[in-house]
Amino acid sequence: MESEIRSRPAFANILVRLTQGDAIVAESDAMASMSSSITLRTRWSGGFLGALLRRVFGGESLFVNEFSTSSRGELVLTQPFPGDIECVELKGQTLYLQAGAFVACEPTVELGVGYAGLSSFIAREGLFRLKLSGRGRVWMGAYGGILSKDIEGEYVVDSSHLVAYEPTVQLKLGLAGSLLTSLLSREGLVMRLRGPGRIYLQTRSIEGLASFVNGYL
Amino acid sequence: MESEIVARPSASAAKLSLDSNETITCEVGAMIAMSTGFSVQTSASKRGGSGLWAGMKRMVAGENFFLNHFTATRPDQTLYLGPVLSGDIVHRRLAGETLIVQGSSWLASGPGVELDTTFQGLGNALFSGESMFWIRCSGHGDLFLNSFGAIYEVNVEESHVVDSGHIVAFDSSLQFSTGKLGDSWLQTFLSGEGLVCHFRGQGKLYCQSHSPPSFGKLLGPMLRAR
């Protein structure tokens, strides 16, 4: 299966060429256009219970679509907001994705659900998170550009800018500084991550855009 | 007239170079900047026509009632055009063929291009999530279309599926109908794609990488009521 991420970083979208035997799993509503030779199968996102948990506590979609073909065809996958898409190859390791970050993966990748903890819930990142494991390519999307970083010790990330992280990374909710500076700096609550492990960040947040626009309504 | 699309694809603008007496008709509000040798006319239709009806039809297609006509009065004049949303612009030179353009995607065209509003069928309009009326562009000359997101072209040889919200324009040689995605209606509903547009025939299809309704549905609930 050939794939290419086009129009990066502002309007990233994935062009996928499928031949017989290939398949790709995509987030609900990710398909922009496709050849008529491609068919799809809809299934629960991370199993019935997992899908339900993520829907109720994370606001994620219940279903994912698996696209395949008996001949050949092209498929374009996208995300609802402008921004970049990054492809990561899983070789047995696990990756946690924040709500809204999942775009697509190969069918050999297992979609599961993990408990994210109360601090994640308070930071409005969802009580449950999408857990990707196994082998194969994963495509994650972001509003804005995507930065990846390998952290060793503690690292501070503004909540709503975290896109994905490896399971060795511990999440803790914290203040950006002292109580007063946290209030004055408008950074408020932040995520205090503890490595080692790789994290993926987005350079903008949709909540940030919403609060900017709200100021003018 | 010569043209160049700059700042693609996220903040595209069309840079046009016009000679004396050359004219470009564009969407109201599309002018970003221009040199001083232009005469500007505003009307509801093509230059010289009455066009009340044409303007009203254009309004139901999601465009503006009025059109602006920029005519160069001196040689070597430049004009920059851009849409409101961030996104792409594509240039197409029509040579007698007809292009059907999604309501808000028409940006500008030369005087040899006829603009008309066309009805794409009540069923298609109600269920596709697209506008009921489209702009039919025919004749000879330059045509500029804009989008939300990047524009990509698909050469349809037999048939192709496009999710609603991603259509920019298509050759009139293509037949378009709204239908289900996959084998069953249940699947169409569960897949989250909703109804999709099926194109049949041979011709060129212009799609936009991002869907304005999808973005609106995501951002809308985060905004507070006025």
Beta bridge partners of A65: A26, A42
How far is residue A48 CA from its own chain's centroid?
20
* Residues of chain A positioned with their CB less than 8 A from the CB of B154: 33, 74
Q: Which domains does chain B have, with CATH numbers?
A: 2-222 (3.60.160.10)
* Distant-in-sequence, close-in-space partners of A56: CB < 8 Å, separation ≥ 6: none
pLDDT of A27-82, one tens digit each?
Answer: 988 999 999 999 998 887 767 777 777 666 655 677 889 999 999 999 999 999 99
Whether the CB of A70 is below 8 Å from some CB of chain B: the reply is: no
Site of tokens 């990846």: A148
pLDDT at B45: 66
Task: Read off the pLDDT of residues B109-150 as tens digits, 9 standing for 90 and up.
Answer: 999 999 888 776 655 555 555 566 788 999 999 999 999 999
Domains in chain A: ranges and CATH: 2-209 (3.60.160.10)
- A137-195 residue pLDDT tens: 999 999 999 999 999 999 999 878 999 999 999 988 887 766 666 666 656 678 889 98
Q: How many CB atoms lie within 10 A of CB A29?
A: 21
A205 alpha carbon, distance to own chain's centre: 13
Q: Do A80 and B218 touch (CB under 8 A)?
A: yes
Q: Which amino acid is at B21?
A: N
pLDDT score of A54: 67
Q: Per this entry, what is the length of chain A?
A: 217
Task: Calculate ∠ Cα A96-A121-A45, nearest 5°.
Answer: 45
What does the pLDDT read at residue B61? Answer: 65
Name which of A30-39, B172-181, B189-198 the model is least confident about: B189-198
- pLDDT for residue A128 is more than 80: no
Question: What is the predicted pLDDT for the residue at A55?
Answer: 67
Alpha-carbon gap: B87 to the closest alpha carbon of chain A (Å): 8
Predicted TM-score (pTM) above 0.95: no
**What pLDDT was estimated at residue B28?**
87
Strand partners, A113: A130
pLDDT at site A130: 87
- ipTM, two decimals: 0.86
Closest CB from B152, B192, B205 relative to A63: B192
Task: Answer yes or no: do B149 and A11 touch at CB < 8 A.
Answer: yes
Calpha distance B168→B101 (Å, rounded): 6
Helix (H), strand (E) at residue A182: helix A179-184
Nearest to B90 by CA among B145, B169, B140, B42: B145
Q: Are A7 and B86 an interchain contact pair (Cβ–Cβ within 8 Å)?
A: no
Please report the pLDDT score of residue A197 as a whole number: 95
Which of A91, A87, A118, A92 is CA-nearest to residue A104?
A87
CA distance A137 to chain B (A): 21
Phi, psi at residue A2, to the nearest 5°? -95, 140
Query: Do B209 and A40 lie within an 8 Å CB cutoff?
Result: no
pLDDT per residue as tens digits for the range B3-54: 999 999 889 999 999 999 999 999 888 999 999 999 998 887 665 555 666 7
Predicted confidence (pLDDT) per residue in B45-95, tens digit: 665 555 666 777 767 666 677 889 999 999 999 999 999 888 999 999 999
- Residue A23 pLDDT exceeds 70: yes
